[in-house]
Amino acid sequence: MIDEAAVRDIITMYEKHGWVLRRVLLSPGSEKALAKLFSGIPTNRSNIDAAWFSRPPNSGPVSWEIRYLGDLPFALLESLDEDDADFELKLKAVEDQLIEKIAGGNIRLTTAAPDSKL
């Protein structure tokens, strides 16, 4: 599990480059240790620890990036129209891709009820 200082560093790095922390996914093992970092940010329970950042575009869709909050620095980027009726489904599909890629790398994932609110 990633520690609080490392998560703060990740958030700071993204903010330095114009990204905004929008959502967080936390595994049951990380809830107590990391939840206080995300006060006011929508947080969901998941099998992984990850943070969703977005950055306003110059034109066109909004860039959304999900960053795995683990020992392996890994992220997926997607450009999405936030007004699209399928926006939430598209975010979930990217989350699922991240889980697949992390699991494929033999990184231990915890088990949790996905999508439940913390």
Q: Check residue 112 and give its pLDDT.
A: 42
**Which segments within 11-118 are labelled E, that is strand?**
20-26, 43-45, 50-55, 62-68, 75-80
Residues 54-77 pLDDT 10s: 998 888 899 999 999 988 889 999
Query: Is 84:90 a contact under the CB 8 Å cutoff?
Result: yes
Confidence (pLDDT) at 105:
64
Positions of the chain with pLDDT under 70: 1, 105-118
> pTM for this one?
0.84
